[in-house]
């Protein structure tokens, strides 16, 4: 992750803190779009932003974490989120929708997974993978340079309940939390270059789908009871003795003031539906081709021009 992104993020957080309770006048006529700390969200937010500008509305982007975006969305400081991932965002999203604080603008075609993952060559060293029981048996492979009897799992800043999984399933692993997706990919790249075993958070759709062979760990299958009823699973005292949901939804969310203030934008977001391939391509343009978010959005829009035309084919008055 380069210093420029950190500087931008710092200024965005300062800006966000000052606007949490009221929106400044210079943003009153702009559609404000959050950009989060993973590549597909940033690229596709820029894709949508460029479409909105084509509708005649100016756009402002704000760098903000996934956790902090909910309050901003509720208050109309930001206007929509184009990627709401079920495994990590379901609880907050469902609560705010149920309370009428934000609006559910529909579900993308894409189906998602977010969980523990490893590159394929790791399985040659630990043949019992991807079964989760192999993790403790092979934990020595994942120790790295640290003097410990625990394996290392690389996670991100997002809430996946990974520490709960470690406790509930008795995994002898520690978590090293990284600040964003770029830091995760740096760890992965270094590991692959040295053929070093690595166990890390990953998700699909993502750039790795088309570029790196790997597998998700097979944890006990997710059910709602796993998160609520300790007696349900293998651990009779703790919840979350299962993996995250496989084939989860990917939704869109809107601020309560979006429809009234920007009806064209509201309709556009409703019309948009991303496929797994669309999201994989967006991420690949940023991570593999190393394009800026804006340049990647332009390239992505060229490839999916027919879909964009279909999403944009509506009549409305701003």
Same domain (yes/no): 178, 285: no
Give yes or no: residues 137 and 221 share one domain. Answer: yes
Assess if residue 240 is contained within a domain: no
Q: In whole angstroms, what is the distance from residue 63 CA to residue 220 CA?
A: 35
User: Where among 170, 200, 232 does a domain terminate?
Assistant: 232
In angstroms, the CA 110 to CA 297 distance is 19
Looking at the domain assignment, is residue 82 inside a domain?
A: yes
Secondary structure element (H or E) that encloses residue 31, with its range: strand 31-35
Residues 104 and 118 both lie in one domain? no
Give the range of the structural domain holding residue 173, as residue numbers without chain letter: 113-232
Domain membership flag for residue 91: yes
The span from the CA of 10 to the CA of 115, in Å, is 28
Looking at the fold, whether 22 and 99 belong to one and the same domain comes out as: yes
Query: Does the residue 243 lie in any domain?
Result: no
**pLDDT tens-place string over residues 20-60:** 444 444 456 899 999 999 999 999 999 999 999 998 999 99
Do the domain assignments include residue 317? Answer: no
pLDDT grade, residue 159 (50/70/90)? Answer: confident
183-196 tens-digit pLDDT: 999 999 999 999 99
102 and 124 share a domain? Answer: no
Q: Is residue 14 predicted with pLDDT exceeding 70?
A: no
> Total structural domains in the chain?
2
Assess if residue 237 is contained within a domain. Answer: no
Summarize pLDDT for 230-272 with one digit per residue, the tens.
Answer: 999 999 999 999 999 999 999 999 999 999 999 999 999 999 9
In a shared domain, residues 46 and 152? no
- With a cut of 90, say whether residue 62 has pLDDT above it: yes
Q: Judge if 125 and 97 occupy the same domain.
A: no
Which of 77, 23, 30 is CA-nearest to residue 53?
Answer: 30
Residues 174 and 199 in one domain: yes
Alpha-carbon gap, residue 132 to 87, rounded angstroms: 19
Domain of 153, CATH number, reads 3.40.190.100
Residue that finishes a domain, picked among 232, 265, 281: 232
Lowest mean pLDDT among 43-47, 108-112, 140-144, 192-196: 140-144
Does pLDDT of 16 surpass 60? no
Q: For residue 63, what is the domain's CATH number? A: 3.40.190.10
Residue 77 lies in a domain: yes
Is residue 18 within 8 Å of residue 62, measured between CB atoms? no
Clarify whether residues 121 and 132 are in a common domain: yes
One domain for residues 266 and 218: no
Q: Both 101 and 170 in a single domain? A: no
């Amino acid at each position: 992750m380069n210093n420029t992104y950190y500087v931008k993020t710092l200024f965005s957080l300062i800006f966000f803190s000052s606007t949490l309770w009221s929106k400044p006048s210079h943003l009153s006529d702009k559609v404000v779009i959050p950009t989060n700390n993973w590549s597909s969200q940033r690229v596709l937010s820029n894709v949508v932003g460029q479409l909105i500008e084509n509708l005649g509305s100016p756009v402002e982007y704000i760098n903000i974490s996934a956790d902090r975006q909910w309050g901003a969305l509720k208050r109309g400081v930001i206007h929509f989120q184009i990627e709401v991932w079920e495994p990590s965002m379901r609880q907050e999203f469902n609560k705010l929708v149920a309370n009428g604080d934000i609006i559910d603008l529909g579900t993308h075609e894409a189906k998602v997974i977010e969980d523990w993952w490893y590159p394929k060559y790791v399985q040659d060293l630990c043949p019992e993978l991807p079964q989760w029981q192999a993790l403790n048996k092979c934990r020595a492979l994942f120790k790295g340079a640290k003097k410990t009897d625990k394996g290392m799992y690389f996670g991100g800043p997002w809430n996946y309940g990974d520490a709960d999984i470690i406790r509930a399933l008795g995994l002898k692993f520690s978590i090293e939390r990284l600040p964003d997706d770029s830091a995760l990919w740096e760890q992965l790249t270094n590991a692959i270059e040295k053929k070093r075993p690595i166990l890390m958070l990953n998700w699909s759709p993502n750039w790795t789908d088309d570029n790196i062979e790997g597998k998700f760990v097979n944890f006990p299958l997710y059910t709602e009871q796993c998160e609520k009823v300790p007696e349900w699973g293998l651990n009779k005292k703790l919840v979350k003795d299962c993996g995250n949901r496989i084939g989860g939804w990917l939704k869109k969310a809107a601020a309560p003031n979006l429809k009234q203030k920007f009806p064209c934008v509201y309709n556009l977001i409703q019309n948009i539906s991303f496929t797994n391939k669309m999201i994989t391509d967006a991420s690949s343009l940023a991570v593999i081709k190393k394009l800026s978010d804006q340049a990647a959005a332009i390239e992505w829009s060229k490839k999916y021009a027919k879909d964009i035309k279909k999403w944009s084919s509506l009549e409305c008055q701003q």
